[in-house]
Each structure stands twice: as structure tokens, then as C-alpha cells.
Amino acid sequence: MNSQTRANIKPGMTVLIVLKQDQPTGKLTKGIVKDILTKSPTHPHGIKVRLTNGQVGRVKEIVE
């Protein structure tokens, strides 16, 4: 599923995000979506979300 499209991401989904401080390395963090922060329908770097643990980053992969 495309992680650059807002409609594909729903609260409660498990995703892999890249945190702001991890952007140079590309290290992924796994978590459950709490809020979707990106307002536009798509974003070239991934949709920005807040995880249930409070971390904020861009979705790189949706875990099925």
C-alpha cells in the first residue's frame, strides 16, 4: 500500500516511520498511528503521523 497517500493511513494501523532526527540515517521506528498530521491528500516524503507513544514522523511503510 502507498504510504504517500493519506487515504491509505488510518488511526490504529501499525506503520514504520522515520523520525526527524533519523532522516539522515533512514532508521525506521515501528508504532501504531494515533493521529494523522498531514492535511494534504498526498505527500512525496510520506504522510506525517503521531504514534500512540507520542513520536512524530513520516510513514515509510504500512505493516500488514
pTM of the model: 0.92
Which domain does 31 fall in, by range? 6-62
- Residue at 1 is within a domain: no
Among residues 40, 34, 39, 22, the alpha carbon closest in space to that of 60 is found at 22
Kindly state whether residue 43 falls inside one of the protein's structural domains. Answer: yes
Asked if residue 40 belongs to a domain, the reply is yes
Q: What SS3 string covers the chain? A: CCCCEHHHCCCCCEEEEEEHHHCCCCCEEEEEEEEECCCCCECCCCCEEEECCCCEEEEEEECC
Residue 20 belongs to a domain: yes
Q: Express each pLDDT in 3-49 by its tens digit.
A: 999 999 999 999 999 999 999 999 999 999 999 999 999 999 999 99
> Hey, what's the cell of 13?
494501523
Which CATH number is 52's domain given?
2.30.30
- Kindly state whether residue 32 falls inside one of the protein's structural domains: yes
Total tally of structural domains belonging to the chain:
1
